[in-house]
């Protein structure tokens, strides 16, 4: 009997030792809490990498900046075929988790500057998402912790209303007298004060208002619903309280340091992919050649064609039997692989083109449309590191025709805006859908039934992961095709 | 189902009232020495009880039937090692437990002994990854009860010690990731098959309930040899084995057209015939001109840049792929010494294996040493110790998967019918050794010899599996055993990559140190007694303490400062540290009770309670019960004379499936060495373990004096509370959430038919047929969620679990079709863009599997042949997709000369009608579109196959005058994976892919070929 007691107690002793289970189950490799500074830098880096890749891999081909070397399968963006999972849905929403987290951390640490920057990133990311897909989850997104696993999609109109409000909030909470206590800002280096103001924060404010201008112009067809004109005027007439970009020093560009770990994302791109995967198109290159635009030397390189060294473009939307020779056409310049200023989010050049169009629409921008147009070209040159040649602005292909019709003037503005939009996510495509400009030639190999896309389709995995809400959104949008029109397009 | 069992139980119990007269059955009463002695038949925990030395007895079948014609009851006294090392008589078991004898793993030795079990036990599925010489595989029993593929693996126990079957991956998957996975093997493959005495396959939860939360996937209980005193001579056994490997099957390559995109002409680099059509222009395509012996400017191996000086004949090289392979060679030597007496015994064994694989510069070496001692210290006290040490090392293991730096990728995208393998041999550019690779053809894939000779994956592993135990018999009824077992391994690995490779232009060097151990300590108290002669019982109570620790320390230099120097100190930037440590602990108590009524009816009840550290602190205790019964119908009823034996088994059990550590809190992930980001998996603070409830019924019938035996088992398992990383749309903030959800119902049947058609003095023929079938249905997931993606290959094909579907269903996109079912074409003559709705095209798991084993003994010459196969099951083939789109296979021959008018219809939006397609397109455009990677419909194939899996001829050598020294000698010739009959267009439908450390079935991502292994074995016993 006594033996049984001993044995029973042995059993109890063994099982009683669950007390240190809590400690055993604590991961020694990862922290449970962090500060916003250690999350901000990597977030900025990854987000801009995604957007410039979207530009290079998607927008450039669709907008006939470049075209693939061969395309035997019959599809491709240059033939207006958008693959179902081509958009950046997954990556962007992934970053939004970090963005929301910085916002909440900043809130609990009482850091309005981090809060403002986080809200600005949130707005920027959602603006791209909604312009790309249409109705997307906004108010119910990033709330898995609260148990929302299948968020509903918000209507684009509501999202725009909220985004515009967000940018107002950003403008008001950013405090130019304080530095970012935990560091981490790679874009404007708002980590330190310079005398008593934080020049970085001043630039973030400018970014917020410039972004608002872009969104207001984008949704201008729906003026009545959101008081667009009034909000535009509010920004244009209050440059001190609502500053926008005023020089290329304000550009929202993440300049890649080129050192570990923040390399230019293309720094070790394969030769085959970088130089021979696609070439610039005739549409893109011929005009640059006509104007002898100095930016072509930065973006591209010359090749020998019939003994002559030149910048040579290829067709876009060609038939499946066409194939281009390796090494005979101009592609992306190798220097771009390590160029620091490749990380563009939004530029001062764009703001000038926006103002040009606003002036055309008779808004009070303080200058004429022609002045803004010329400022935009100048700014784009400076941004890319090209010198504006003398007499460039007077060249026949560039000279702004003030006596032309509204459409002709708009076409000119949009064409130069298109060049200034190189590597800026999907913006030139969104603008073409908004205005119809620039007019792109239709390639001979594009099947007659293919129409120029107005949006990307929702990712196919939503059919398994969020089927119900996807169905609702599709009904509300009037379809989930690449030609379904968005709210601001209608 | 439950009602049926209860009714059966009532009927059978009521039959007890009838007296049984054994002689009325025509059965000779057993002789006295087989009278069952309570202390021998009851649960015995003495690990040192030696079993008969089976190495040289007349060879036995791999199933639990003796070839010796014997009295019925004796055969069922066979003792089976069951869960926790408890030994039971087979007749008393209420669940399916199959014994696999040692020759199953020794008859045809392979690099990973686990693979020898293929086809030998119904319900045992060995899924290999086809990822290299280590031959790691995924071992599952019956079906998949968990949505987490890693959780469905069987628990492997060696001498009472659970052994890890975990593969520590490189962190990369098999498709175009930064680096590729490598199969480094696992602890389980380290065992020396010569040390294995027998394996008990415990197929379902009914058998493994005593393992509690590790039991859901069944278990393989391995017993290694102990020392015994039987036999004459020194007790020394020496065994030498040599075998060769050659690829056993190839895809259907075409040898009619060569390199290029156009068939009009060919020119290597620009020439007077025209611009370059080879190298980067062709980029691996074989749509070039037809081989007619015409003259073209081709690669010139004599000149440094390959530029041709004259035209050469355009002919195909039939060996353009096979020349990259060689004949593999494996040699192993093994020696064992044993001896003993009634007081105890010892066995020492030593073995060495050296393998060179079918690819040059790959292979590994292994040394095993094992010692077993057991001693009866006093009449009451016994001690026992076993230790197995393994050292395994390799100077290079190949990288697997679809990536620029793998050899199999090269063979698809870089090799061409007009290109000889040795043109790639000088793989550095002259004067630029270590700096720039020479790639005379398609620059995309790295030079194959650079892959094989410069991209090395090395490893050096030391592992110990050992047990110490002591047992003390207080009386002959009460016994206490205490045992502690350890599985510990330390592994050093390195991966080196040279300059100028595609993914790492400045090379790479990575090192990992992996330390892994698990210690299990058990105390087990057993009491057996009887209420009466008719009713005997045994009660067991015990406790177990498990501690597991995993330390992974990686150092990565992802760019090198200087070429050719592979050390962390040569890192260009600061080397990155990647530490992962985890610990886990489980404390348990368990108990069981067995009742034996008249040695005819046995009833078993067990219970185990686990407290696990990986579950939330306040809620980490779970209870796992089971009950099983065994009815010896042949003793209970009057059965026809020809029925020698009949047994009915019933069992029910509820077991769990634990989770990994650190899932119950939020942690931030490190990124870019100095930043943090949110994790993508949402933790669950209320996590529960998975619970599987299982019902099993079986029948074991033997006829004609055991000449014919049928074993039938049927089972139905329900698994709830799956711990799923439920995939979420990243919109929600996380890409997956850990939830307890889901109900999976896995059911099936197993049949084993054993025949002894001929037993005479000079000729014996044994035959065994096995058949098994399993279906695992997804009954529920989570409210509002209808589908869970288990594995995703870039959305080209997914393994999805959809409610109402089966585990393993493969989903992907297919053609748009008209209402009549015709493929819709676009106006340019190619199939229109794919239908975006993901549809089901097959299932990764077979409809049924079967094996047919025959053993014939003519005089002393023994032959055994195993044929096994599966019907059904599907597999997505990346190899085939890419071969087809590049024009490398016979499937792509039609249409090359005249183009193709695809068979389908074109939709006219104006008339809203479908008209037949009449547009002619080139063959290359057509096949490029038809077999596109996104088209799951055309790239998923039936995985049915029949393999001649194993053949062995064995002859005992006459010892003659050396009989004084040599007790026995035998020579055997054997082969494995000899022939594979299947329609699968890749190498082997029995493959999968290695996703870092997880073996994933159903999707083949550039597998290695399967090798035909043939060898000779000589055994001497002194």
Rounded Cα distance between A431 and A415, Å, is 10
**Other CB atoms closer than 10 Å to residue B22's CB: what's the count?**
13
C-alpha dist (Å) from residue A100 to A90, A163, B733, B804: 16, 15, 9, 37
Q: Out of A307-311, B617-621, B624-628, which region has the weakest mean confidence (pLDDT)?
A: B617-621
DSSP designation for B32 = G
Q: Nearest-CA neighbor of A460 among A172, A132, A83?
A: A83
Q: What is the 3-state secondary structure (H, E, C) of chain A?
A: CHHHHHHHHHHHHHHHCCCCHHHHCCCCCCCCCCCCHHHHHHHHHHHHHHHHHHHHHHHHHHCCCEEECECCCCCCHHHCCCCCCCCCHHHHHHHHHHHHHHHHHHHHHCCHHHHHHHHHHHHHHHHHHHHHHCCECCCCCCCHHHCCCCCCCECHHHHHHHHHHHHHHHHHHCCCCCCCCCCCCCCCCCCCCECCECHHHHHHHHHHHHHHHHHHHHCHHHHHHHCHHHHHHHHHCCCCCCCCCCCHHHCEEECCCCECCECCCCCCCCHHHHHHCEEEEHHHHHHHHHHCCCHHHHHECCEEECCEEECCCECCCCCCCCECCCCCCCCECHHHHHCHHHEEEECHHHHHHHHHHHHHCCCCCCCCHHHHHHHHHHHHHHHHCCCCCCCHHHCCCCCCCCCCCHHHHHHHHHHHHHHHCCCCCCHHHHHHHHHCCCCCCCCCCCCCCCCCCCCCCCCCCHHHHCHHHHHHHHHHHCCCCCCCCCHHHC
Give pLDDT tens digits for B750-804: 999 999 988 888 899 999 999 999 999 999 887 767 788 888 888 899 999 899 9
- Which string of DSSP letters, residue by residue, matches B243-269? EEEEE-----B--SB-SBS-SS--BSS
Q: Which of A326-330, B104-108, B169-173, B426-430 has the highest mean pLDDT?
A: B426-430
Give pLDDT tens digits for B166-196: 777 777 777 888 888 888 887 788 888 888 9
Q: Which of B579, B726, B732 sits opposite A148 (nearest CB)?
A: B732
Given a cut of 80, whether residue B523 has pLDDT beyond it is yes
Given a cut of 60, whether residue B22 has pLDDT beyond it is no
For residue A148, the chain B residues in CB contact (below 8 A) are 732
Closest-CA distance, B612 to chain A, in angstroms, reads 8
List all residues 6 or more positions away from B362 whose beta carbon is below 8 Å from its beta carbon: B132, B133, B356, B394, B396, B397, B398, B452
Give pLDDT tens digits for B815-847: 999 999 999 998 889 999 899 889 999 999 999
What pLDDT, on a 0 to 100 scale, did the predictor assign at position B745?
93
Helix or strand run (H / E) with residue B745:
strand B736-759
For residue A74, the chain B residues in CB contact (below 8 A) are 826, 828, 830, 925, 929
CA closest to B282 among chain A residues: A326
Q: Which of B573, B585, B786 sits opposite A260 (nearest CB)?
A: B573
Distance in angstroms between the alpha carbons of the first and the last residue of chain A: 89
Rounded Cα distance between B214 and B202, Å, is 13
Distance in angstroms between the alpha carbons of the first and the last residue of chain B: 56
- Give which of A8, A97, A321 to mutate to test B binding, by max B Cβ within 10 Å: A97
Given a cut of 70, whether residue B29 has pLDDT beyond it is no
Closest-CA distance, A88 to chain B, in angstroms, reads 11
What pLDDT, on a 0 to 100 scale, did the predictor assign at position B194?
87
Please give the average per-residue pLDDT across B865-872, as a whole number.
93
The pLDDT-based confidence of A40 (bands split at 50, 70, 90) is: very high
Helix A369-384 with A348-360: angle, nearest 10 deg: 170
The pLDDT-based confidence of B135 (bands split at 50, 70, 90) is: confident
Decide: helix, strand or coil at residue B464: strand
The most distant pair of C-alpha atoms in chain B lies apart, rounded to whole Å, by 103
Question: In chain A, pLDDT over 70 holds for what percent of residues?
Answer: 96
Closest-CA distance, A481 to chain B, in angstroms, reads 11
**Would you say B891 and B997 are in contact if contact means Cβ atoms under 8 Å apart?**
no
Given a cut of 80, whether residue B920 has pLDDT beyond it is yes
Closest-CA distance, A268 to chain B, in angstroms, reads 7
Given a cut of 60, whether residue B561 has pLDDT beyond it is yes
CA closest to B825 among chain A residues: A74
**Other CB atoms closer than 10 Å to residue B70's CB: what's the count?**
12
- Look at B323 and B4; give whichever has higher pLDDT: B323
Rounded Cα distance between B942 and A175, Å, is 65
Given a cut of 70, whether residue B67 has pLDDT beyond it is no
Rounded Cα distance between B45 and B540, Å, is 11
Please give the average per-residue pLDDT across B858-883, as a whole number.
93
Closest-CA distance, A257 to chain B, in angstroms, reads 14
Rounded Cα distance between B759 and B67, Å, is 9
What pLDDT, on a 0 to 100 scale, did the predictor assign at position B644?
87
Helix count and strand count (H, E) for chain B: 12, 50
Per-window interface: B 612-631 vs A, CB < 8 A: 612-614, 617, 620
Please judge whether A38 and B726 are an interchain contact, meaning their C-beta atoms are less than 8 angstroms apart.
Answer: no
**Would you say A397 and A411 are in contact if contact means Cβ atoms under 8 Å apart?**
no
Helix B923-930 with B878-885: angle, nearest 10 deg: 160
Half-sphere exposure of A59 (CA within 13 A, CB side): 25
Given a cut of 80, whether residue B415 has pLDDT beyond it is yes
For residue B783, the chain A residues in CB contact (below 8 A) are none
Give pLDDT tens digits for B850-862: 999 999 999 889 9
Rounded Cα distance between B260 and B268, Å, is 10
Please judge whether A464 and B800 are an interchain contact, meaning their C-beta atoms are less than 8 angstroms apart.
Answer: yes
Q: Which of A29-33, B49-53, B214-218, B479-483 has the highest mean pLDDT?
A: B479-483
**Averaged confidence pLDDT in chain B:** 85
Rounded Cα distance between A142 and B728, Å, is 11
Q: Looking at the complex, does the CB of residue B827 fall below 8 Å from at least one CB of chain A?
A: yes
- Look at B261 and B77; give whichever has higher pLDDT: B261
What pLDDT, on a 0 to 100 scale, did the predictor assign at position B229?
63
Q: Which of B588, B661, B677 sits opposite A25 (nearest CB)?
A: B661
Please give the average per-residue pLDDT across B715-744, as a whole number.
84
Decide: helix, strand or coil at residue B290: strand
Rounded Cα distance between B841 and B1002, Å, is 11
Please judge whether B674 and A261 are an interchain contact, meaning their C-beta atoms are less than 8 angstroms apart.
Answer: yes
What pLDDT, on a 0 to 100 scale, did the predictor assign at position B959?
75
pTM of the predicted structure, to 2 decimals: 0.78
Q: Which of B543, B665, B732 sits opposite A141 (nearest CB)?
A: B732
Q: Which of A11, A73, A141 sits opposite B925 (nearest CB)?
A: A73
Given a cut of 90, whether residue A26 has pLDDT beyond it is no
For residue A27, the chain B residues in CB contact (below 8 A) are 582, 661-662, 665, 667
Give pLDDT tens digits for B283-313: 899 999 999 989 999 999 988 888 999 999 9
What pLDDT, on a 0 to 100 scale, did the predictor assign at position B43?
29
Given a cut of 50, whether residue A187 has pLDDT beyond it is yes
Please give the average per-residue pLDDT across A276-288, as a whole number.
93
Rounded Cα distance between B66 and B59, Å, is 10
What pLDDT, on a 0 to 100 scale, did the predictor assign at position B57?
25
**Would you say A41 and A49 are in contact if contact means Cβ atoms under 8 Å apart?**
no
What pLDDT, on a 0 to 100 scale, did the predictor assign at position B52?
29
Give pLDDT tens digits for B932-960: 999 999 999 999 999 999 999 999 888 77
Please judge whether A74 and B838 are an interchain contact, meaning their C-beta atoms are less than 8 angstroms apart.
Answer: no
Given a cut of 70, whether residue B31 has pLDDT beyond it is no
Six-digit token string for A244: 């926008």
Q: What is the ipTM of this complex?
A: 0.84
Please judge whether A461 and B795 are an interchain contact, meaning their C-beta atoms are less than 8 angstroms apart.
Answer: yes
Given a cut of 60, whether residue B50 has pLDDT beyond it is no
Please give the average per-residue pLDDT across B521-542, as a whole number.
91
Given a cut of 70, whether residue A62 has pLDDT beyond it is yes
Please give the average per-residue pLDDT across A231-258, as a whole number.
94
- Give which of A3, A5, A15 to mutate to test B binding, by max B Cβ within 10 Å: A15
What pLDDT, on a 0 to 100 scale, did the predictor assign at position B77?
64
Six-digit token string for A138: 């906004």
């Amino acid at each position: 009997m006594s033996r049984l007691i001993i044995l029973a107690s042995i059993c109890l002793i063994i099982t009683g030792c669950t007390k240190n289970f809590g400690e055993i189950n604590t991961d020694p490799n990862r922290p449970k809490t962090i500060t916003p500074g250690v999350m901000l830098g990597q977030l900025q880096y990854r987000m801009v990498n995604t957007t410039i890749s979207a530009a290079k891999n998607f927008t450039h081909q669709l907008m006939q900046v470049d075209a693939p070397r061969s395309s035997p399968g019959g599809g491709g963006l240059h033939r207006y075929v958008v693959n179902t999972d081509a958009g950046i849905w997954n990556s962007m929403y992934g970053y939004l988790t970090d963005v929301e987290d910085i916002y909440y951390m900043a809130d609990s640490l009482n850091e309005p500057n981090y809060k403002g920057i986080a809200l600005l990133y949130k707005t920027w990311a959602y603006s791209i998402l909604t312009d790309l897909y249409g109705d997307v989850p906004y108010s119910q997104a990033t709330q898995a912790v609260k148990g929302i696993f299948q968020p509903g999609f918000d209507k684009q109109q509501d999202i725009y209303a909220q985004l515009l409000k967000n940018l107002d909030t950003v403008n008001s909470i950013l405090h130019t007298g304080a530095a970012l206590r935990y560091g981490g800002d790679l874009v404007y280096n708002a980590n330190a004060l310079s005398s008593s103001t934080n020049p970085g924060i001043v630039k973030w404010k400018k970014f917020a208002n410039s972004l608002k201008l872009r969104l207001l112009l984008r949704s201008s067809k729906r003026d009545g619903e959101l008081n667009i004109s009034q909000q535009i005027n509010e920004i244009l007439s209050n440059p001190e309280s609502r500053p926008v970009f005023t020089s290329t020093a304000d550009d929202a560009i993440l300049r890649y340091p080129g050192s570990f770990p923040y390399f230019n994302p293309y720094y070790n791109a394969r030769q085959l992919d970088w130089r021979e995967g696609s070439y610039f198109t005739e549409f893109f290159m011929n005009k640059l050649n006509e104007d002898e635009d100095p930016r072509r030397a930065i973006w591209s390189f010359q090749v020998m064609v019939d003994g002559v060294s030149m910048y040579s473009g290829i067709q876009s939307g060609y038939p499946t039997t066409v194939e281009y020779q390796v090494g005979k056409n101009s592609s992306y310049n190798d220097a771009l692989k390590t160029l620091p200023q490749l990380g563009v989010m939004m530029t001062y050049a764009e703001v000038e083109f926006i103002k040009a169009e606003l002036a055309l629409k008779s808004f009070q921008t303080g200058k004429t449309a022609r002045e803004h147009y010329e400022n935009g070209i100048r700014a784009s040159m400076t941004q890319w590191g090209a010198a504006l040649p003398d007499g460039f602005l007077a060249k026949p292909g560039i000279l702004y025709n003030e006596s032309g019709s509204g459409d002709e003037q708009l076409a000119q503005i949009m064409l130069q805006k298109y060049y200034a939009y190189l590597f800026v996510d999907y913006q030139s495509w969104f603008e073409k859908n908004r205005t119809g400009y620039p007019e792109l030639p239709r390639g001979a190999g594009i099947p007659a039934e293919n129409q120029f896309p107005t949006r990307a389709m929702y990712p196919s995995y939503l059919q398994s992961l969020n089927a119900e809400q996807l169905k609702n959104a599709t009904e509300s949008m009037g379809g989930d095709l690449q030609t379904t029109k968005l709210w601001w397009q209608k | 189902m439950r009602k049926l069992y209860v009714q059966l139980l009532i009927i059978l119990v009521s039959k007890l009232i009838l007296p049984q007269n054994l002689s009325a059955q025509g059965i000779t009463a057993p002789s006295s020495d087989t009278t069952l002695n309570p202390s021998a038949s009851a649960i015995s925990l003495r690990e040192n009880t030696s079993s008969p030395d089976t190495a040289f007895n007349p060879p036995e079948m791999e199933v639990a039937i003796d070839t010796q014609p014997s009295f019925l009851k004796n055969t069922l006294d066979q003792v089976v090692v069951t869960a926790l090392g408890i030994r039971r008589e087979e007749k008393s078991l209420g669940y399916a437990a199959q014994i696999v004898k040692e020759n199953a793993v020794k008859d045809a030795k392979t690099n990973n002994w686990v693979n020898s079990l293929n086809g030998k036990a119904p319900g045992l599925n060995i899924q290999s990854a086809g990822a290299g010489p280590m031959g790691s595989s995924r071992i599952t029993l019956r079906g998949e009860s968990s949505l987490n593929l890693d959780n469905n693996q069987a628990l492997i126990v060696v001498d009472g010690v659970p052994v890890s079957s975990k593969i520590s991956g490189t962190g990369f998957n098999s498709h175009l990731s930064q680096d590729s996975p490598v199969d480094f093997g696992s602890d389980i493959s380290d065992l020396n098959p010569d040390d294995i005495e027998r394996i008990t396959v415990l197929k379902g939860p009914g058998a493994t309930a005593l393992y509690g939360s590790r039991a859901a996937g069944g278990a393989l209980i391995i017993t290694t040899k102990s020392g015994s005193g039987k036999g004459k001579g020194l007790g020394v056994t020496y065994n030498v084995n040599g075998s060769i490997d050659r690829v056993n099957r190839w895809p259907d390559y075409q040898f009619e057209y060569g390199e290029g995109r156009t068939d009009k002409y060919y020119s290597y680099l620009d020439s007077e015939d025209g611009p370059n059509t080879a190298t980067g222009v062709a980029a691996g395509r074989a749509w070039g001109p037809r081989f007619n012996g015409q003259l073209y400017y081709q690669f010139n191996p004599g000149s440094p840049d390959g530029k041709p000086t004259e035209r050469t004949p355009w002919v195909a090289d039939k060996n353009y792929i096979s020349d990259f392979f060689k004949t593999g060679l494996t040699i192993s030597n093994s020696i064992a010494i044993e001896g003993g007496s009634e007081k105890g015994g010892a066995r020492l064994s030593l073995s060495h294996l050296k393998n060179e694989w079918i690819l040059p510069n790959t292979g590994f070496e292994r040394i095993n040493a094992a010692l077993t001692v057991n001693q009866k210290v006093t009449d009451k006290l016994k001690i026992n110790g076993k230790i197995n040490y393994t050292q395994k090392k390799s100077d290079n293991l190949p990288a697997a998967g679809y990536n620029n730096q793998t050899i199999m990728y090269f063979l698809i995208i870089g090799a061409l019918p007009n290109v000889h393998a040795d043109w790639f041999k000088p793989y550095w550019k002259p004067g630029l050794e270590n700096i720039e690779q020479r790639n005379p053809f398609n620059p995309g894939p790295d030079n194959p010899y650079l892959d094989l000779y410069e991209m090395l994956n090395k490893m050096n592993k030391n592992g110990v599996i050992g047990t110490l135990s002591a047992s003390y018999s207080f009386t002959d009824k009460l016994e206490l055993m205490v045992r502690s077992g350890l599985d510990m391994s330390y592994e050093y690995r390195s991966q080196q990559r040279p300059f100028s490779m595609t993914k790492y232009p400045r090379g790479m060097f990575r090192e990992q140190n992996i330390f892994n151990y698990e210690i299990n300590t058990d105390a087990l108290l057993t009491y057996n007694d009887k209420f009466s002669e008719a009713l005997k019982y045994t009660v067991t109570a015990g406790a177990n303490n498990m501690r597991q620790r995993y330390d992974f320390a990686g150092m990565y230099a992802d760019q090198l400062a200087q070429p050719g120097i592979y050390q962390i100190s040569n890192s260009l930037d600061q080397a990155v540290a990647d530490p992962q440590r985890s610990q886990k602990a489980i404390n348990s108590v368990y108990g069981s009770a067995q009742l034996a009524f008249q040695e005819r009816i046995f009833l078993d009840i067990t219970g185990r309670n686990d407290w696990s550290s990986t579950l939330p602190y306040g809620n980490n205790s779970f209870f796992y019960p089971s009950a099983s019964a065994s009815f010896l119908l042949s003793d209970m009823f009057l059965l026809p004379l020809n029925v020698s034996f009949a047994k009915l088994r019933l069992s029910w059990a509820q077991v769990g499936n634990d989770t990994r550590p650190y899932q119950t809190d939020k942690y931030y992930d490190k990124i870019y060495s100095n930043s943090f980001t949110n994790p993508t998996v949402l933790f669950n603070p209320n996590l529960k373990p998975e619970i599987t409830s299982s019902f099993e019924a079986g029948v074991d019938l033997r006829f004609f004096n055991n000449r014919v035996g049928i074993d039938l088992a049927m089972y139905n398992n329900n698994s709830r509370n799956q711990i799923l990383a439920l995939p979420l749309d990243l919109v929600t903030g996380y890409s997956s959430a850990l939830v307890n959800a889901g109900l999976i119902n896995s059911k099936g049947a197993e049949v084993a038919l054993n025949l002894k058609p001929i037993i005479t003095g000079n000729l014996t023929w044994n035959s065994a047929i096995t058949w098994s079938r399993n279906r695992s249905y997804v009954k529920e997931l989570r409210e509002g969620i209808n589908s869970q993606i288990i594995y995703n290959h870039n959305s080209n094909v997914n393994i999805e679990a959809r409610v109402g579907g089966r585990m393993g269903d493969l989903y992907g996109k297919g053609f748009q079709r008209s209402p009549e079912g015709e493929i819709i074409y676009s106006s340019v003559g190619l199939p229109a863009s794919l239908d975006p709705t993901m549809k089901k095209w097959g299932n990764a798991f077979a409809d049924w599997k079967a094996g047919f084993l025959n053993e014939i003994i003519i005089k002393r010459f023994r032959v055994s042949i195993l044929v096994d196969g599966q019907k059904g099951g599907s597999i997505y083939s990346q190899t085939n997709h890419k071969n087809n789109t590049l024009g490398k296979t016979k499937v792509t021959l039609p249409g090359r000369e005249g183009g193709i008018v695809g068979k389908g219809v074109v939709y006219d939006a104006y008339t809203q009608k479908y008209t037949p397609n009449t547009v002619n397109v080139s063959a290359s455009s057509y096949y490029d579109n038809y077999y596109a990677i996104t088209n799951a419909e055309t790239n998923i194939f039936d995985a049915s196959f029949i393999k001649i899996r194993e053949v062995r001829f064995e002859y005992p050598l006459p010892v003659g005058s050396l009989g004084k020294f040599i007790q026995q000698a035998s020579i055997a010739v054997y082969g494995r994976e000899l022939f594979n009959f299947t329609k699968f267009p890749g190498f082997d439908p029995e493959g999968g892919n290695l996703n870092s450390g997880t073996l994933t079935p159903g999707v083949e991502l550039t597998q290695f070929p399967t090798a035909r292994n043939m060898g000779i074995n000589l055994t001497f016993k002194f």
